[in-house]
Structure 1
Amino acid sequence: MKNIFKLSILGLGLALTLASCSPEDPIGSKVTYYPLITVNGDDFMSVEEGGTFNDPGAVATIGDEEVPVTTTYEGRFRGQTYNSTLGTSVADLYTASYAATNEDGFDGVATRTIYVGNTGDLVTSIEGLYRSTVTRNGALTAQYTDMEYVLIWKNSDGTYEISDAFGGYYDLGRAYGVGYITPGGVIVANDIPTNNFSFPGTQYNSGFGAPSEITAMTVDPATNSIDLTVVWTTTTTYTFQIHLDQVQL
């Protein structure tokens, strides 16, 4: 009887072993095609404030099939967002995002930059899009040269405002991003040809805080450039010398 019992256990173990070695069901798989976005026209475009922007758009394909594109516009400095059509009443640098999604929920996105604003003559207006070169306490390194871009726009009350009172030093030079700009740099142009400006208010850096003031400004229409001095008071006093070269669009 003991031998029969042992044989039964052996047979059961062999049966379990054979069952565990049986082939598994094959795992299903398929090919997923991600959306491919092709932007029509230039990567950088501009339109006058209040004008009409004719977006060349983009084409999205999944495999060999063209699919719909969703377009959104987001302002870099002043927070405006638009869907489908770009509004032009607020001067800013806008990122146009062209997006499509495949059936598995994977996105494809491509972008272009659009400047909405005006190019002042630096005699009657200082509005414009500028490349910025900045020294801090007299020091200049390569990444703080010809940084793109700083904006100056005109407010409804006739004052002007600069997108970053530090000229992009932390945002663009150190690549900390728009969370480290110093907004609110208001400029009153009492008389542009004689370089008579005043600077009401105090600005605070978005990331680091601490007050700063624009203390001087000189405009040179012959070279399409502006020079600013900004003093920032933290535990140390920093003086930023900002040279702006206007982009001729």
Structure 2
Amino acid sequence: MINKWLKKICLFSIGKNEKTEVRSGILEERRRLLWLPVAAASAMLFPRRVWPNGISSAFVREGMDWKDFLKDVSPRAKELHKDPSIKGQDAYLYWLASMAARLNFDSIPNGKLRTFANLNPPVETGLAHRGIPFFIIEWKMSANAFLPPHNHPNISVCTLCTQGEARIRNFNPNGKTPAFDSKKEFSVQETHNEILTAGRINTLSAKRDNIHEFRVGKDGARGIDITTYHGKDEGFSFLDIDTKPNDEFNRTYRATWKKF
């Protein structure tokens, strides 16, 4: 389904020779914020210890160019992508996040954006980069827009906010979930609820925090999603999640799959 959507808007298709794999499992976590000043300082003081061979000096400069990011990150990302385990996916995502945190936002090319899912106020998306192992989706949310909760089977996403503020919430399903066309109720647990501002990052993997939603205020927001398959395309679905938790402490909610 994800591939069909991307093809429909003439943005992306997966190459036939790209192979990925995934193992089952869910990691339940609480809030994890990515703070990188220590890593950045270490990179300046001990660049050979922090950055693998082949990484250019662009990573120890303030404001990394988009082209440098794509050129230098891809080789290491390919190596990390080979490990589909829970820890392997986290290592991959946190590597991408540490690199994306140094991006010069002005160097990110403006892609052709199209309205997504006929949401109102509109949410627009477009392809900023297609490569291996990841592709990058640019997104723009109009004032007061809401992107409903949706899942990402066999997919990891590193979300970088580049403008404005967006509230992002992540969820994990509690146990097995029914088929996407089922009306059967199931349970999800909220694992993140935070505000992303320019330069802040949120990640989800195929193993944890795999459902997310976005809500913005009067100024809207923009950003990019560095998106990676860790297995075959199984489509995706939106969710309808209760506004009030049925367990306040554990932040669990009743949910059903929803179509737009």
TM-score range, shorter chain: under 0.3
Kindly indicate whether structure 1 or structure 2 has the higher relative contact order, using CA contacts under 8 Å at least 6 residues apart.
Answer: 2
Q: TM-score, normalised on structure 1?
A: 0.22
Structure with max Cα Rg: 1
Q: TM-score, normalised on structure 2?
A: 0.22
- Structure with more of its chain in helix, by fraction: 2
- Structure with more of its chain in strand, by fraction: 1
